[in-house]
Amino acid sequence: MNLIKPKKLKEGDTIAIIATSGEVDFEKIKQAVKYFENKNFKVVLGSNIQKLHNELAGTDEERLEDIHNAFLDKNINAIICARGGYGALRLLNKIDYSIIKNNPKIFCGYSDITILNAMFYKKCGLVTFSGPMVQSDFAKETNKFTEKSFWKALTSDCIEIKPRKENSQNFAPVQSRLFGGNLSTLASLCGVDFIPDEKFIFFAEDVNEPTYKIDRYFTQLLNIEKFRNNVAAIVCGEFSGLDNLEYFKNLLDEIKSDLNVPIVTDYPISHSPQKATVPVGGWGELSSSSLKISDYLLED
């Protein structure tokens, strides 16, 4: 893959806020705009961000227009999604991927945005960021860990993420590009060509999904030969709301035995207020104690 790296973000740059999925709370968007402006960034909003159509932030065409325009605008340096929910899946066959490929810039979001992160990486080779979004993370008091991780990831080319709990496993460090995000969202892409063609460290998280569904999502991915052949390690973030922790632990043990790859848990990759920003496509080095990520941004 010919990797495309966006430029680092710096003070005075322009951030676009667009809604690609669910309907937004515009009062929260305005609060977040003040947050970014207080950090000395300019902010522009997608022209359709206040639209509503069937619980989505406008029609497919309106949401698509805001994606294309944000990438085409030479004055915009970064795009941060307003929120997730649902809707990105409807856009996959309508996106002009040549626009994204020819106008690379920082693109950030999680949850439903995992679809766009995955497809921009697969179709264009663009490094994107699985990280906080405007409505959920910047409209009120921002979690300090989330804030620090976000700005560090978007302004430097080397970060380190450590698990919340010390890992007792010992294994040789694994080095590969990073790929992943919200597990159930990625599973919804089954049937689409979205798996990277090279080896990758897979990271995953989810929220309020019963354990049997987590089993289903992993199984859907493991049924894809390219996934099985290319996954070099698995980093589990937070799976909040699990109803059967023993089942979950057994599932991971089964996957580890089946694939013969390291699986680590308890990383701060999540839907919760405390979340790390992870470059999709960044070069990862996974050890038993941390995940180091580099080679994902360009100097200005």
Kindly report whether the global pTM for this prediction surpasses the value 0.85: yes
pLDDT mean over 205-216: 97
Percent of residues, the chain, with pLDDT higher than 70: 100
Q: Is the pLDDT of residue 140 over 90?
A: no
C-alpha 149/C-alpha 34 separation (Å) is 20
Q: Is the pLDDT of residue 67 over 90?
A: yes
Same fold, 14-141 and 159-294: no
C-alpha 146/C-alpha 86 separation (Å) is 23
pLDDT single digits (tens) 155-209: 999 999 999 988 778 899 999 999 999 999 999 999 999 999 999 999 999 999 9
Comparing C-alpha atoms, which of 9, 102, 70 is closest to residue 300?
9
C-alpha 32/C-alpha 298 separation (Å) is 26
Q: Is the pLDDT of residue 300 over 80?
A: no
| CATH architecture of the region 14-141 | 3-Layer(aba) Sandwich (3.40)
Element (H, E) at 16: strand 14-18
Beta 14-18 vs 42-45: how paired, if at all? parallel
At residue 167, the pLDDT reads 76
pLDDT mean over 120-147: 96
Binned at pLDDT 50, 70 and 90, residue 30 comes out as very high
User: Higher model confidence: residue 166 or residue 47?
Assistant: 47
Bridge partners of 231, per DSSP, are 200
At residue 170, the pLDDT reads 85
C-alpha 274/C-alpha 266 separation (Å) is 12
> Can you tell me which residue has the tokens 């910047």?
138
Non-local CB neighbours of 14 within 8 Å, separated by 6+ positions = 41, 42, 43, 44, 75, 76, 77, 78
Q: Where are the beta strands (DSSP E) in 106-253?
A: 106-109, 128-130, 158-161, 174-182, 200-207, 231-240
Sorted by where each begins, the domain ranges of the chain are 14-141, 159-294
> Can you tell me which residue has the tokens 């790859």?
261
Instruction: Look at the domain 159-294 and name its fold.
Output: Glucose Oxidase; domain 1 (3.50.30)
pLDDT mean over 34-57: 97
Q: Is the pLDDT of residue 274 over 90?
A: yes
pLDDT mean over 136-146: 95
> Can you tell me which residue has the tokens 């289903």?
216
Q: Is the pLDDT of residue 113 over 90?
A: yes
